[in-house]
Each structure stands twice: as structure tokens, then as C-alpha cells.
Structure 1
């Protein structure tokens, strides 16, 4: 991903409480609008809003379908829960999407759901997955980022004996289309997560809303980079901003504040149901 002071804009469409054709229509429309450069899904196995018993689609499967149906948009999951899939399997899934999209994947990953978010946490018990404490989850994310990058870039099989990840004869073939690998976007705001961002991320994403808090976390990331000798300017700052269709001026104000604070990768969250030609509305009312 090219680092630039020029803001780039994308859309996020949660694949919950809608039909997959609704997503397809919005993404295809956005694909034809140059002002919208990237598009995102989320990674939950049960709804976290609206009808809690309603439909929700698995994020990476849906992303592959939408990648095949678009030609220009960069595509990603904002963000993948590292708790859901073994990292070597996730590396293979992501490579497949990068190949399908002909090199348009932005690889989003994070620790996973917060322990204080019961609507998200319930999906682990419902799918027979453990929900480990935060310290273990952060350590697992660090190791996951390490082995995923190695699977994408190394030409010989390798073993990995980590605290959380153990691999024997690990090897990725095919490799992603993008070289050296798809951009790695890590989402999160916790101090422990920002250490992982400093070590591994090309892009850092934070949920928007409180711009002052986002600025404070960005400054903390700068300090984490300094601790390991990394130039913080190497990490693009990304923010997710919720869109209110009835109050576009408020969203424009939030965009302006975020860009002024140094967040040049802006993801606009579009709630369902989507208005007709919503992507065109985003370009006309929010971006231009």
C-alpha cells in the first residue's frame, strides 16, 4: 500500500441482516466509482446488531465472492478475528482471495472480540471455540502475523515453535499476487495491541467516534514504533466512521476532523438497509 497524505476513502458493509445480493449490488456500484477505493466486510459469526437471530455471512467466504465480482476496488475484512482460524489456514484463505482479486487484498486482522462485548463473545460458545484472556490473545496475534508473513514470502518449508502457534513443515503455495505480500492492516486501540501494530502493520485501523482518543492512540503508536526503532510514518493511519444517511453534514465534519488528525485511510460504515445508489450518494455527499 502506498503511503500518502492524500486521503483514500472506502466503505464497510456488515454482512448481517441482509441478503447477499444487497452486498453484491453495493460493491458493484462502488467498483465503478473512482472516489471509493476500498471496500470491507466484518468478521462475526452471529449478528452484533439489529435482529440478533437474523442471518450473518462468513466474512472471508463472502469476500472471495465479492472479489470475483469486482475489478478495481481493494477488498478486505475489517478486521479478521485471529481467534477464529489457525493462522496458517488463514494465510491460505487470504492468499486465495488475493489471487481471485488479482492482487487487490488488504489483509485486515486483529485480536478478536473484546471480553466486555457480550454480543460478540456469545459466538465463541455457539461455535465451540475457546475465548482466551486478552494477554494470550495478543500474544497469539503477534505469532500469527509472524507466521502468516513467512508463509507468504519464504520459499522453503519451515518449522515454528511458538508459545501459541506450532507448525511443522509449513509452506505456502501459491504465494499471493502482491509482492512482497498483501498490506497488513491491524485493528485495535489497546496499548498491548499497539505494540503488535508497531511490529507488523502497514496500516493501523481504529474505530472512530472520539477523535481525541484516536489522536492519543496514534501518538501512543508513535512511541511504540520509537521503542523498536521503526519510523512511525511507515504505518498508514486508518479510521472507521459510522455513516448517518439523515445527517451527512455530521459525517463530513467527522471526516474532516479525522483527516486533520492524520488519518488518511477513511472507512465509511454503511448501515443496512442500504438506500438506492448508496455508493453514488457516498461519493457525492461525503467524499466530494
Structure 2
């Protein structure tokens, strides 16, 4: 019965909703933003605390402005996520463009896979959906599984309909090894700003004035297979339109010292957030973990060799 309900919800409500024109969805978005911020107060205390600790130098009024704009943007991304379910190939490429695709062309011609590190900044659903269309590589998004298996299956089908493949943390190693075996030049996309499950086997650094654990998977795979690594920076041009830049982090991964790639990523992420603070996912409990007394850095080093 639960499975049937999920299918009915998806195909009778969510898909029809996604067929509505974006101008109408943005009217709904403005209403939803008000509800999330002032009525439901969705994770409002988390958002306030995150913004206050990240920007202690800003006045209360400036912090409130960031929070207000964040909820408006969050509602937009929420509705754009619905639109993703049915948006055409032409429309997504119109709304989500790469400013410098030529930077990766040499690697594809050489049959070399690349690793793209991005974040929950601006629109990440269009990012995954369009990955297989933006570049000649096999686009592969790496994510976490949903708790609702039926919805995961339905969303997986929608996200991969334009050529992007999606793998998860429980099978990502197999995907990397299989693509190396078949010599398939791939562009792997990792949203590396997520809070890690294991706070011992991760990299700890400072992000926005706070002690922060960072997922080490990007650097692990980069060094394992000697992939060049790039920062995937998303820019919001105007409502509903985005562009992105591919910025080199390391072209010789195996020559980098411990966590150098990850630290370069964190530094660029912080710079990106500071440029336009409202567009990051402030409702995420990013700083819920405390640094353990002992970090298993030696274990990470050995595993990446």
C-alpha cells in the first residue's frame, strides 16, 4: 500500500506539478518562501545559528537579509527540483550553461577521466541532470541513497534520463574500478560539502570560522587513479538561470600532499559562499559534529595509495 501511495504521489501530483510553466512555479515559490520562513519556520534556528557563526562581522540587519534571501532561494530550488522531473533537454541547457567547457576537452581526447568537486550551492539538481549533456564524458553523479526506496528508484530514473549515471556511497568504488577497467572517460561529480558519516576518517579544517569535517572521498579517488581535479563553481545569473565555471584544483593529484586537494576545495568553497551567501544550503546541520581527539589520517593515507 505504501509503495502504491508513493507511485500515485509521484505520477499524479509531482509530475503534473512539474509540467506547470516556471513563471507560475515562481509565484508558488514566493508563497512557499514566506511559509517556510515565517509560518513553518523551517529550521530557522539552525539557519540563524549557521549564519551568525559564519559571519560574526556582519550586523544583525545584514544577517537577517542573508536569511531572508536564503529562504527565497531555497523555495526556488525546491520548485526547480520539481521542474527537473519533466524539463526538456533544450530548456535545461538554456538555463544551465558552462562558461569554459574547453578546459576539459584535452582530457577527454586523451581518454582521461576527471573529478569535479562541487557543493549544495545554487541549483544542484540541474547540475546532476545536465552533467551527461554538458561534456562528452560519461557523466556520473555520486550521492547518498534516500530512505524511501520507491522514491529513490523514481528519482533515479528522472535524474538519469539525459545520460548522467548516478551511483551511491555503497557502490561508488565498484563504479570507479569498472570504468577504469573499461577505459570509459568519465566526469565524476561529488557534492563534497556534505557532513561526513565518519568524523574520524575525514579531513578537519576551518570553514567560515568554524571547525569543520570534510568528506575525503574526492581526494581519495583522485589519488587512487591519478585523476585531475576541478572545482565546479555555480553562479546564479538571474532567477531560474545559472552558469558554472570549471576551475583547476590539481592536475597532478598523486603529487599532492595529504589533504592539499581537499583544502584547496574548501578555500574555494568559502570564497564562493562569501561572494553570495544566500545561495548556500544554510538549513543543513553542517557543524553538528565535534572534532574527535584522534583522527585516522594514517588510515586515509594508506587507503588512497
When the two structures are superposed, what TM-score results if normalisation uses the length of structure 2? 0.28
When the two structures are superposed, what TM-score results if normalisation uses the length of structure 1? 0.29
Give 1 or 2 for the bigger CA radius of gyration: 2
- Structure ranking higher in helix proportion: 2
